[in-house]
A and B are shown apart, each in its own frame.
Chain A
């Protein structure tokens, strides 16, 4: 099991130069886009296209890293790299785990944003 996601607002804010406004905007955007991003990952996994899977994993990796989720980002990175080499090991389980992580992060962020 991955370590549970805890929002490290201080770290995120530091990267954003302490700008609360941008922080709030990023949170908002993540929550708006998360359903679409998850769906895109599911579609990519179902298509069997390694390049598509690599790209969607890459996008999620970036999103999770934006919120300082190192563990989630590492999960996406592994999938991205395997897809890049065309050697995805147990793809279904990886995709499921990544989707679960995204949902978890989204839930935490949603709570934080008060939505």
Chain B
């Protein structure tokens, strides 16, 4: 059923047009004598065709069309303007001003029916395309969700690849990622950014894949030469992840490269200082170190929480970005909750 909006200040014309529209079938005429009342109706309703008289007292047809077109989503709806035979200039103006076609008075049924049918066919085409576009958009959303899901899965798997060769556990990766997210939220970063760091932080040590076993798995202290090799995991991780089309991989690359930088410039690999260190690197530095300190490793015991906290406090402005430390401390309740949730024996997925 097509909704046909008809606006004419003359009763007899309204009646005639209504009768002709009804004869076409499949049409529901909606009549208005006053253009302003019709506009009001148009705010709530979307007609499939507008037939509007030119000469009306409160608002002429041209002004009606302009006001109608200005309503949201009404730019494409076909409009037929009715003018007297002698109003050629008005017809030109109407066509330029947004009318799709015109009808001349006195109305001729054959001409009227043909034009109205054409306009309604146009409208039907528009609706079909709009429905199709909506359907496709939904499909695209669905597929995008699937791809995102797969991307997340891949990231978890990449992170685990490093884990296989590393004494660090899966639970460490989960905890440090969630700590990073707590800090990001504490810094008032956008929810999407906080989510991004949660997803990207697990890849911080993925470059350890490139470190030889006798160094990576060495039980004792590393010699300065061995440590120099070990440090290269930051760049390896970056090399592995950089230039990805994925936003998460890009963030992961940045984190891999910069999470061992220190605020005072004494970190590695580039010795960046202060805010020259990308924010994600500064955030992950706090999260990673805190979790490393408070976890048990083959070569060391877990530090008590208060000692680890003291380490962060003392490292403010030296090792760590003070704002990141503050954000971490501000989220302390949540930190404890994450620590409890991801214990070394039981690993949940992110």
Question: Taking beta carbons and an 8 Å cutoff, which residues of A are in contact with B?
Answer: 15-17, 19, 21-22, 25-26, 29-30, 33, 55, 58-59, 61-63, 65-66, 68, 77
Task: Name the B residues within 8 Å of A17 (CB-CB).
Answer: 20, 23, 109-110, 113
Per-position binary interface string of chain B over residues 133-147, scored 1 when its CB falls under 8 Å from any chain A CB and 0 otherwise: 000000000000000
B314 sits at the interface (CB 8 A):
no
Checking B9, B19, B109 against A25 with a beta-carbon cut-off of 8 angstroms, the contacting residue is B19
Task: Name the B residues within 8 Å of A26 (CB-CB).
Answer: 12, 15-16
Checking B12, B57, B108 against A63 with a beta-carbon cut-off of 8 angstroms, the contacting residue is B12
Nearest-neighbor residue (CB-CB) of B14 within chain A: A29
B107 sits at the interface (CB 8 A):
yes
B27 to nearest A CB, angstroms?
15
**Given A17-B113, A58-B55, A65-B105, A22 contacting B16 (CB threshold 8 A):** yes
Per-position binary interface string of chain B over residues 91-119, scored 1 when its CB falls under 8 Å from any chain A CB and 0 otherwise: 00000000000000111111001000000
Q: Interface size of B by Cβ–Cβ distance < 8 Å? A: 22
Nearest-neighbor residue (CB-CB) of A74 within chain B: B86
Does A25 lie within 8 Å of B106, measured CB to CB? no
A-B contact count (CB 8 A): 57
B126 sits at the interface (CB 8 A):
no
Does A33 lie within 8 Å of B109, measured CB to CB? no
Task: Name the A residues within 8 Å of B85 (CB-CB).
Answer: 65
What separation, in Å, do the CA atoms of A77 and B87 have in the docked complex?
A: 11
**Given A15-B108, A30-B12, A66-B106, A22 contacting B55 (CB threshold 8 A):** no
**Given A25-B15, A26-B16, A58-B55, A15 contacting B10 (CB threshold 8 A):** no
Task: Name the B residues within 8 Å of A19 (CB-CB).
Answer: 19, 23, 109
Nearest-neighbor residue (CB-CB) of A81 within chain B: B86
A38 to nearest B CB, angstroms?
14
Does A65 lie within 8 Å of B106, measured CB to CB? yes
What separation, in Å, do the CA atoms of A66 and B86 have in the docked complex?
A: 14
What separation, in Å, do the CA atoms of A91 and B9 have in the docked complex?
A: 25
B321 to nearest A CB, angstroms?
73
